[in-house]
Amino acid sequence: MLLVYNLVALGKIQQKEGTKKFEIATVLNFPKICPIIMTKHIDLLKPTLVKYTTESISDYIVETFNQSEYQLVISPHRSSKLGDYSPPFRSRNYHRISVNGNLNAYSFFITFLHELAHFQCWKKHQNKVKIHGQEWKDIYASLLKNAMLQNLFPADVTEALEHHLTRIKSSTTYDYQLVKSLRKYDEDGIDDGQKEVGDLNHGDVFEFKGRTFKFDKIMRKRALCLLIPSSRKYSFSPFVLVNILNVEKNKI
């Protein structure tokens, strides 16, 4: 069956000097879902997707549209999550996957596969299994392995994913090795004077969001740091980027 797609721009509206300013989210729809703007050629989807990922990955995503019916939302940056999946709910009678558009090409794709696994798991089991239970893990692992066999990732990311597959977590942000590998492909990179919290040594002093901290130690999944001067304890994700301060440790 030939599917006809829509490309719709939605966003949060901000008022500025009497005009509307949009923070854009790109929404890829099926005509029966939201027939607002008709795009009669499926090839027009790829130019949109290559703005966020590679050509080969874009081809992969377009092929999933041929196999399943869902809405893909490419969202502005959300600090609380990289992506999400939601099944049909109330008046919305279709599945929706969203991925943050500020992610690098490979983080975007891995997040997409994570949410696609939720979509496929729901279609098979609906809400009868745990969100990140074994059923979801098996589907997610299968999708990752298939993508790796198609050489859709660079060698270093593939190596990190092979390790990731041995112990799949509910979020890639909990896999420090994978996060470090993916961060190499961020456009901004790491500035001079910045380090990941996980790379700090005991007593290192750093600034984060206008406050000064001292690194104490790595716990199981988080880093324990002390706010200066109160010594109040805070836990940090080990991959958070912070600004290193040149302060003698024995003076703090």
Q: Where are the beta strands (DSSP E) in the chain?
A: 5-16, 19-29, 38-39, 71-75, 83-86, 96-100, 194-196, 205-208, 211-218, 223-227, 233-236, 241-244
- Do you find a cis peptide bond into 229, omega within 30 degrees of 0? yes
pLDDT of residue 190: 67
Tens-place pLDDT, residues 75-130: 888 878 999 999 988 888 889 999 999 999 999 999 999 999 999 999 999 989 99
The number of folded domains in the chain is 2
Residues contacting residue 169 through CB under 8 Å, at least 6 positions apart: 175
pLDDT of residue 59: 93
Question: Is residue 188 in a domain?
Answer: no
Whether 37 and 99 map to the same domain: the answer is: yes
Expressed as residue numbers, the domain containing 132 is: 5-183
pLDDT of residue 138: 97
Whole-model pTM: value is 0.76
Distance CA 237, CA 222 (A): 5
pLDDT of residue 91: 83
pLDDT of residue 174: 82
Which parts of the chain sit beneath pLDDT 50?
A: 1-23, 31-41
Whether 101 and 210 map to the same domain: the answer is: no
**Residue at which a domain ends, from 156, 183, 210:** 183
pLDDT of residue 239: 81
At 246, which helix (H) or strand (E)? none
